Every structure is written in structure tokens, then in C-alpha cells.
Amino acid sequence: MKNPLNKRYFRELKNDFGKYIALCLFLIVTIGFCSGFLVADGSTKGAYDESFEKYNIEDGHFILAKEADSSLIDKLEKENLSIGQLFYKDVDRKNNHTIRLYKNRTKVNKACLMDGNMPKADDEIAIDRLYGENNNIAIGDKIDIGNKDYKVTGYIALSDYSALFKNNTDMMFDANKFSVAIVTDKAFDDVETETKYCYTWNYTNDSEKNMSDKQLTKKSEKIQDILTESGLLTDYVLQRDNQAINFTGEDMGGDMVMVMVLLYIVMAIIAFVFGITTRNTIEQEAGAIGTLRASGYTKQEMVRHYFVLPALITFIAAVIGNILGYTVMKFYVASMYYGSYSLPTYVTKWNADAFILTTVIPCIIVFVVTLIVLNVSLRISPLQFLRHDLKKNKKSKVVKLPNFKLKTRFRLRIIFQNTSAYITLFLGILFASVLLMFGMMMSPLLTNFKDRVLDSKIANYQYILKAPIEVDDKDTEKYAVSALNTTDSEEEITIYGVNEDSKYINTKNIPDTRNQVLVSKGYMEKYGLKENQTIELKEKFGSKKYKFTIKGTYVYPASLCIFMTRENFNKVFDKDKDYFCGYFSNKKLDIDDMYVASIITEKDLTVMSDQLEDSMGQAFYLFWGFATLIYIIVIYILAKMIIEKNKQSISMIKILGYTDKEVSSLYNIATAIIVIASMIICVPMSAYIIKYIYYVMMEDFNGWLDYYIAPWIYPGMVLIGAVCYFVVHIIQMKKIKKIPMEQALKNVE
């Protein structure tokens, strides 16, 4: 015979349709986003990982001052290295964008043709897909490069430029103003710009391809010694240190961890909500449960009955969420990755881990929590259910309230009677507040950083020279500059040597004692440095180390750097007394390009904030929207549960003459008090949590973005929360109106 309890499922679902549809939607959105994210992340990460072998990505590269002779190549090949040429030329466009031109690659760091064709004529070019999309350059368009126009014949993704870093030492890649491109061999030779003699190497011995970090370092030192002896080495980068290659993969791995943490926090909240609502259902149906238990139904039969709907809702939401993840959401997330990185062609791959992580484990979390709540709630005797005495132990003494007004005492009693629900509400609001603050703070943070960089810039132009050359201009100022690495993280720190009477830099606090320096504020914050502390830096190529004593802070957010007098700089680095290698100037100087190593302008100073805003803008708004959704759903579910739990009391006070509006002022205002108080508490807590997360996140960045939360964000978050509650309040008002007065007579004890 079929279990007659099965007939109750549809009725229970109908009666609690609002609660179940809210929980289902919440689960669908969360699982759909996380599933889509993991599928897209796994597919793009798979394409990225496969590119190393598929496109024969280098094991490292070096740049020489001139073309290598055969003897140097022979020495390197004796170390089981396959040497390849990857010469390039950096050419500026009229809009000051830089295009890095290459000949077509056939052996190493090969190109993936995304769309169109590779160039065949000398006036044709294939450009990076992301740069083309960011600058609205379509295939078939003509673009100016140097003094010549080229026709764009195709979009490419170069395997060694998945992140468009112009220089490996840059804090952030730049897919808006920098691009790599391929032209024909003749077109490359015809460009009248300095050639960068870049060479790649790949290990030919299979055993060396899987070296440990220690072995790789030892091998690298040997290669570097050979190159240093030649006297031609200007740059040297191992594959593991190449940001243009590795930044993308590292970012994807970090994103996946963040999304999984997000998923399981949300699932824990949902499981707790399921537990509370299930407990509430048992309290409402205590009389019926007592009758069924007295009629012979066992505890486990009742557990199974009340377990079915939460389990079914979770399973349906997981299935629909996965369908959305594999259809709609994967493309949205993939577009975020492809809007930031120059990845090979996207191909969706089945991700078994995504299914387990976003479907199996979340279902297990909800099932386990629900079963625990049911087993604990249903362990009392049938007689206690019939008496509506649902505490296994004796009730604790009721809290005696002060002699407040009746409405105040009534609201306080509601709060005390629903403590577990309100604790869950607080946790949900805290989690939503953290997400909301992160989504709201990033755009203002980047804008503030950009403004501070521009306000504190040293000069409109910072020229770095290959060799000292005199310039006849009274507005220029000589300076010396070098770069050292931190001893632990290998992060590059710029060392400035400036004139004591500098008109571009405030030298008032710069010490005149050797090895005493001012340190940029970002450097101090990132590494937790303090005044009078000694720091140690080392040469990028070489083993020499330098120690400096911090005597103060200098506000220069554009980079991590150290300031000292030019006189002390020349002493520390064993330079001539009058040595310099750069000019500060507020106007462009007439210096032959052959003497200029690089020019730092406003564009270079703000590239980090510009690129982050461009590539992460969608994600910021996604966090904002998701947090708002959590606010509404969590508040709605728990407010609805409190109203349902107190149906009989609400009906009774209606009999006593209270209007719907007055009833709402008791129950909804009690919830409103908790919601507003939670938001006021959670906003500063969120700021503290976000600050910790932010500092941990920035440890993996090259450079530093000053932590900043715009003042308007705090009241803005409270306002968003209040609006969300107002929406819920209107819905609950209708719920209260539908509770009839005869409800109080149904369960008279």
C-alpha cells in the first residue's frame, strides 16, 4: 500500500510555494554562476595549459644589445638548449599606442589565428584579437603604424602574450594601448626602428624539462653566466618569471579558489536556512506529527517525509543550475576571461570536478544539515508533539523585560523567540555586505589611485637613457635610476637618485647619509616596513646585495621605489660623481631614439588602473548584483518564516482589534530593527574583512594599489539593504493581510 503521507507533498509545496521558490532561485543562481564559472575556467585553463605544448612555448628568453655571433650560440647549445630568434620592433601609432611587430612564428611561441588570415602582402598585418576589440579595429580596417598604413587581415593570439605585458616588470598588462602583431618578413625589415635582439631557448633534454625549482635555478645561473660573459645581455627572463605567459594561468587558479569559497559559504547559509525553515514547519505541524507518531509512524518515517521536499528542491535547483552553467553562464564567464586575456580559441570541455564541486557537494551539505535538524527536532515523544512542547528539556526561564511600552516589549519578545532565525539573517547580511562592498569599492578605488598617481607624478616625461647625453634645456633635470629585486619575492624596486635641489621632487626629507633612503608608501604598506628598519635588495642579474635604512616615506603611488640623493646613488652603485641616466621634463625632449631606453608618461603611470577597470568592470557589477540578490532572498525567507511561525498569535491579536497595519508594525518592524542593526554592524565588519582579503590579494600583484573605500559606500550599502527590506516588507504586509482571524481557533489547546 502506498504511503498516504505522499499525498501531502503537493499541498505542502503549494502552501510554502514562496519559500521554496525563493530558495530554489537562490540555489539556481548560485550553482548556475559557479558551475558556469568552473566550466569556463576549466575550458579556458585547459586551452591555456595545452598551448605550452601545442604552440611550443619557450622555456625562457634573453635580449642582447646586438645580434649574437655563432660562438655564443654554440656555447648555449652545448647546454642542451635549442636557440630561436624572436626579434621584434616596438613602433608607436599616432594615438601613442605601441605595436610590437614580429615576423611570423613557425617554430617557437607560435601564433593562434583566431579569425581572418595571416598577412601575405607587405602592407598587411595580423593584430592581437583583444587589442582589436578594445579599439574597435575590425578585420579589413586600416591602421597606422609608424609612417605607414597596414590592412588588418586577421586576429591572432600569441602564445607567449596571453597577458599583454609590454615589459615584464610592469605592474599590470595593457590590452588597450599595447598590442603584438605579425607582418611579413620584408615588411618587418622595412620598418626603420631599432630591432630588439630577442632569443628564446627550449631544453632539448627531456629530463631537463621537468627539473625541480632548485635544479632550474642552478641551470638558469649557468645560462646567465654565459650570457653575462658576452657583455651583451640586457634582459633575461625564465618562463616561470614571465608575466606575459604566466599571469593568466595564475589568475585563473586564484579565481577558481575564490569562487569555490563563495559557493560553499552560500551553501552553508542556505543549508542553515533550510534547517531553520524545516524546524519551523515541524513546529507548525506539531499536532499532526504527534497524531501520526501515536498512530504508529516511526521517527525515521517522519524524518524521510520531511526530508523529501528540501532534498527535491535542492536537486532540481542543482540540475537547472548546471544546465544554466553549461549554456548561458559559461559564455558570460568566458567572455570575461577573453575580455581580459589573449587566449587561444575557446572550446567547452566537460568538467567532472565542476559537477562534483557545484552539484554533489552542495547537495550533500544541504542533505546533511537538514537530516541533522530533522533527527534532533523529531526525537521527542508523540505526547510532547500533541502538547506543542517541542523542547526535549525543560524550558528555560523566560527573560524578564524592562517596563517598556507594550509594543516595544512585544517586539523584543518576537526577537527573543526567533533568535536562531535572526542569527542566520545576520550572517546572511554579513556575507552579502562583504560581496557588496567589494563590488562597490573597486571602481572608486581605481579612480582614486589614478587621481593620486597623476597628482604625485614627478614630471610629464621621465626619460631613461641608454647612455648619458647632454640636453640643452633649462627645464630638464638630470637623475639616476636603477632597479633591484627584493630578496624573497623577486619583485622589482626602482631606485631613484635625485638632485638635492630638485624642482621636480620634494627633497626636503631625503637624507644625505649614504644608504639612508625614503621609501614609497606603497612599498612600506605592501611589505609592512617601518621607519629605521633596514631592508636588503639584490641585483637582478648577479649576486651583489645592498642594504638601506628607511628614514621616511615618500608619496609616490605609481611604483614601488626608493629615493636618495644622486650623490649617494653614485657612491652606492660605484658610479662616477656626475653620473646620470635620465631626465625629468614637463615637455617632450629632442633626443635621438638611439639614446633613449624608455619614456615614462601619464599613460604608463595609469596603465594598471585603466586595465583593471576595463577587464574587471563586469565582475564588480556582478558582485554588486549577486549581493543584492542575497539581501532580498535571505531577508524574505526569514521574515516569511517568522510571520508563518506566529500565524496563530497574529490571528489572535487581530481578534483583539488590531488592524493589519498595527500587526505589521509589531512583526515587520521587529525584523526591520534586526535588519537595520545588522547592516549597521556588518558595514564596518565588512570593511575590516575586505581590508584583510585585499592585502592578501595584493601580495600576488606586482606593485601596489592603495587601499581605499569611498565615503559614500558606507551609507550606500545601508541604503541598498534598506531598499531590499522595503521590498520584502511590502510582500510580508500582503502575507499578514491574508491570515484570517479564525486561524486562532484551529489549534486551541
Q: Please report which confidence band the pLDDT of residue 608 belongs to, taking 50, 70 and 90 as the band edges.
A: low
- E strand intervals along 250-350: none
Q: Looking at residue 162, what DSSP letter applies?
A: S
Tell me how many degrees the CA angle 251-687-721 measures, rounded to the nearest 5. Answer: 105
Q: Are 421 and 676 in contact (CB under 8 A)?
A: no
**Is the pTM of the predicted complex or chain greater than 0.75?**
no
* Model pLDDT for residues 511-555, shown as the tens digit of each residue: 888 888 999 988 898 888 888 899 999 887 667 889 999 998 888
Residue 300 to residues 307, 390, 721: CA-CA distances in angstroms?
10, 17, 41
Average pLDDT over residues 44-58: 86
Q: Are 57 and 109 in contact (CB under 8 A)?
A: yes
Min mean pLDDT across 330-339, 350-359, 361-370, 738-747 is at: 738-747
Average pLDDT over residues 282-299: 82
Q: Are strands 60-64 and 197-203 parallel, antiparallel or unpaired?
A: antiparallel
- Position 1 scores a pLDDT of 44
Contacts 24+ apart (CB under 8 A), 139-148: 139/115, 143/93, 144/93, 144/94, 145/91, 145/93, 145/99, 145/101, 145/181, 146/91, 146/92, 146/191, 146/192, 146/193, 148/123, 148/191
Tell me how many degrees the CA angle 15-21-23 measures, rounded to the nearest 5. Answer: 115
Q: What is the chain's mean pLDDT, rounded?
A: 83
Q: Give the three-state DSSP class for 444.
A: helix
Residue for grid cell 563563495: 262
* Model pLDDT for residues 68-83, shown as the tens digit of each residue: 888 999 999 888 889 9
CA distance 312 to 142: 58
Indicate if the pLDDT at residue 409 is higher than 60: yes
- E strand intervals along 117-147: 124-128, 142-145
CA distance 348 to 331: 9
Residue 191 to residues 90, 147, 148: CA-CA distances in angstroms?
10, 9, 9
All three cell numbers of 609, joined, read 588602473
Q: Are 263 and 29 in contact (CB under 8 A)?
A: no
Average pLDDT over residues 466-493: 84
* Model pLDDT for residues 18-29, shown as the tens digit of each residue: 778 877 887 888
Burial of residue 78 (number of CB atoms within 10 Å: 0-12, 13-18, 19+)? exposed
All three cell numbers of 205, joined, read 633534454
Indicate if the pLDDT at residue 749 is higher than 60: no
Residue 485 backbone phi and psi in degrees, to 5: -110, 150
CA distance 495 to 483: 6
Average pLDDT over residues 657-662: 79
Indicate if the pLDDT at residue 306 is higher than 90: no
